[in-house]
Chain A
Amino acid sequence: MRSFLRQLAPACIALIVLTVLTGVIYPLAVTAVAQVTFHDKANGSIVTVNGKAVGSALIGQQFAAEQYFHPRPSAAGVGYDGSRSSGSNLGPTNPALLQVVAERVASYRAENGLADTQMVPVDAVTASASGLDPHISIANARLQAQRVATARGLTLEIVLAAIGRHIDDRPLGILGDPGVNVLELNISLAKAG
């Protein structure tokens, strides 16, 4: 016990010193360098349209109107709530998961005018990990293309070409997985008409 008490003084001082070093100097130094060298990224990669902030290039947002591509289901708050990142955490055999997926399959088909036998891309009917997934799969985007084209009075080719321009591919061709950035795609189509 005496040897424990004798270590308490260095323990307290060590915690104070290391807190200053790793809890104050370190994060503030990183902040300073980041704010100077990568100002926009360090502040959230905010996307503006006509000078107004509409979102972040990295964070998904909800779209409901038919002229927009729709994102994946989200479990973040009421959906894409940036202050409540979350997955559904539903297990693979949970009846609640199977029921909600079946409902989403039906509404995805109805929304996009697809046949009852059309298989639906898995990302379109499952909730993401973060609840803020900025991407959808290319297959998902292509199935929505006709609806968006009709609503905007554009040809299908123009919309498919726009999808192609907004694919975030795998770095080096192997890192992570590719997807279409929904917000950026929708912004580009809104500009096109």
Chain B
Amino acid sequence: MSATGLLQMLLLVALLGVSMGPMGRYMAKVYGSEADGKAPGDRLFLKVEGAIYRLLRVDPKREQRWNVYAMAMLAFSLVSVLFLYALIRLQGSLPLNPTGRVGTTPWGAFNASVSFVTNTNWQWFSGEQAISHLTQMLGFTVQNFVSAAVGMAVAVALVRGIVRRGQKTLGNFWVDLVRTITRILLPMSFVVAIILVSQGAIQNLHGYTSVKPLDQTVAVTGTDANGAATSTPVTDQLLPGGPVASQSAIKQLGTNGGGFYNANSAHPYESPNGWTNLLENYLLLLIPISMTVTFGVLAGSKRQGHVLLAVMATFWLLFSLGAVFAEQSGNPRLNAIGVDQSSSATQTGGNMEGKDIRFGPSTCGLFAASTTGTSTGAVDCMHDSLTPAGGGFTMVHMMLGEVSPGGVGVGLAGMLINALMAVFIAGLMVGRTPEYLGKKIQAAEMKLVVLYIVAMPLALLAFAAATVVLRTAVASLQTADAHGLSEVLYNFASAANNNGSAFAFANTSSPWYTITMGIAMLVGRFFLIIPVLALGGSLVRKQKVPVTSGTFPTDTALFSGLLFGVIVIIAGLTFFPALALGPIVEHLSL
């Protein structure tokens, strides 16, 4: 990898390293780490939040048991899906639609509403061709905020379950939801949106602006119905409009990833230059890694958070370096036909299919690893055109279960689930009941852990397997070979892990793909979140057992290694056979 690529990576790591401490401690205060419950900005925020609670008729002091917390979360998600579905279906008759977009198919609207509510932001459509400005604002931007906040609330509820002793409640869902938005996501998004605009990201309510390009001799050649050659002059260019920066900011910060435009963060109006690219890459990692600090503060032991962070960071680093190296190495098949992919002072070289010049192979590889490790799914280059190795790294990064560092909130929850699995395995080795932070991990908890771990691979592999035997589904792939299988695996991995990025050649607008992916997204969200809350509910009742010489310490490098190994083994055993037929065989065929 190039020196500039390495320095860019180091700068990103340094920025994250500097800011994660303050960010994590601030979030801990928002979630009530101080004994008196105070948090910065109370004077302003408490008034706003108080007004909201009164509208909701919710008593913020009254906490909920895990099942009530889960019901509140489910009720909120259900009304969100219904509202978004209606909005997408009816957008043609609603205002603020300067580009004249009409409602989509029922299955398309089902897929899109589930997608944004589950924080997946999978898009079977092209944003600028299918969605009105009103739907972008009232639908997608809103869900970017609230679906992220739901994930963070759930993670905090689990942490409370681990930390509290002999209690019954995990907090109040409505309070966690509202405070996450008013104190974390909204103020930060506002600042970021303005920064993005300062660099050239657009923010307006226009439809298209038509301009007369400089070269008026451009023509598109083709053939007419009779087979005769035609030449159509192109005398105008349409430049798109829209409230883009406000959505791009929260799309990154909330690890959502749904682009305003089809090209997502590769679109010059979403991310115009190296500054905005760095900022967007930084934002999608910031909250997930800072959550480990929040966890350390709430658990009363910073080292417990550091151990989780070390595992997350190791995965992220390995996959980033792998993706960068693979992309910078280029596509060997192009060398033979006279294409210069070498890196020099006058070109970045490497695999440039599906990449803009300003975000070359190193820049793209770094972003690709971050977006797949965080369940974000925003892209600054097109993943279907990645090299087999580069595409393989991004695919496997999702298949780890989105824990490196994972989505906002759900990443921490996923890592804690894996930590419970790790202490369980360690307990089996020495024949002792496993403990985590003083809580005994028993059969009831392990059943929930296993349910969590099995749900995602089941949804992914079952639907992928069904797809490759369906002739119509296979027909929409670009080639019926190893790369075609990679497309199926990648896209269902994306749906089942609530990531949202795509191997986008495959036409996924058909009823089969929209419906099965919609189900995979629902499984990947709620069959993970509900076991997490149940686990919190089970752990919160327990008393702490005293630390003895027989206690397996979970704040050591040894435990980091064990945790790392557990994640690798689970993903490896589950997915290696499928990967061998997809990206691995494609790579070996080069």
Contacts and interface: CB of A to CB of B under 8 A. Distances in A.
Interface string B77-94: 011100100000000000
Given A122-B330, A130-B267, A23 B137 contact: yes
Contacts of A62: 213, 215, 218, 234
Given A23-B137, A98-B337, A183 B214 contact: yes
Interface in A171-193: 171-179, 183, 186-187, 190
With most chain A CB atoms within 10 A of its CB, the pick from B263, B267, B351, B356 is B356
Given A11-B79, A12-B79, A44 B241 contact: yes
Interface in A66-96: 68, 72, 78-96
Interface in B74-124: 74-76, 78-80, 83, 99
A91 B273 contact: no
Contact of A19 (B142, B275, B481, B503): B142
B113 to A, nearest CB: 13
B215 A10 contact: no
Interface in A94-115: 94-98, 101-102, 105, 109
With most chain A CB atoms within 10 A of its CB, the pick from B11, B218, B237, B241 is B237
Contacts of A34: 193-194, 197, 203-204, 245
Contacts of B388: 92-93
B504 A89 contact: yes
Contact of B190 (A11, A30, A45, A142): A30
Q: What is the size category of the interface that chain B forms with chain A?
A: 35 or more
A139 B346 contact: yes
B268 interface: yes
A144 interface: no
Contact of B269 (A10, A19, A59, A137): A59
Given A13-B56, A27-B141, A83 B128 contact: yes
A11 B296 CA distance: 31
Given A10-B72, A129-B359, A176-B277, A83 B330 contact: no
Nearest to B278: A175
B214 A3 contact: no
B199 interface: yes
With most chain A CB atoms within 10 A of its CB, the pick from B129, B198, B218, B338 is B338
Interface in B221-261: 234, 237-241, 243, 245-247, 250, 261
Contact of B79 (A15, A42, A65): A15
B339 interface: yes
Interface stretch (B23-31, B377-385, B396-404, B405-413): B377-385
A161 interface: no
A165 interface: no
A135 B483 contact: no
Given A22-B141, A86-B126, A126-B353, A80 B590 contact: no
A14 B56 contact: yes
B197 A42 contact: yes
A119 B234 contact: no
Contacts of A119: 338-340
Contact of A38 (B8, B126, B197, B360): B197
A174 B11 contact: yes
A122 B246 contact: no
Interface string A126-147: 1111111111111110100000
A60 to B, nearest CB: 8
Contacts of B363: 175-177
B381 A129 contact: yes
Contact of A101 (B141, B337, B387, B586): B337
B141 A80 contact: no
A83 B238 contact: yes
A139 B347 contact: yes
B21 interface: no
A132 B202 CA distance: 15
Contact of A29 (B190, B212, B350): B190
Contacts of A126: 352-355
Contacts of A52: 212
A141 B385 CA distance: 24
A131 to B, nearest CB: 7
Contacts of A175: 8, 11, 273-275, 277-278, 363
Interface string B125-169: 010110000000111011001100000000000000000000000
A146 to B, nearest CB: 16
B214 A176 contact: no
B558 interface: no
B499 interface: no
Contacts of B8: 174-176
B126 A176 contact: no
Contact of A22 (B78, B146, B353, B503): B146
A43 B379 CA distance: 23
Interface in B185-200: 186, 189-190, 193-194, 197-200
Nearest to B330: A122
A87 B504 CA distance: 9
Contact of B203 (A17, A42, A49): A42
6 contacts: A26-B186, A55-B239, A88-B385, A90-B385, A137-B347, A172-B274
Given A87-B266, A90-B505, 4 more contacts: A44-B202, A92-B387, A174-B8, A177-B274
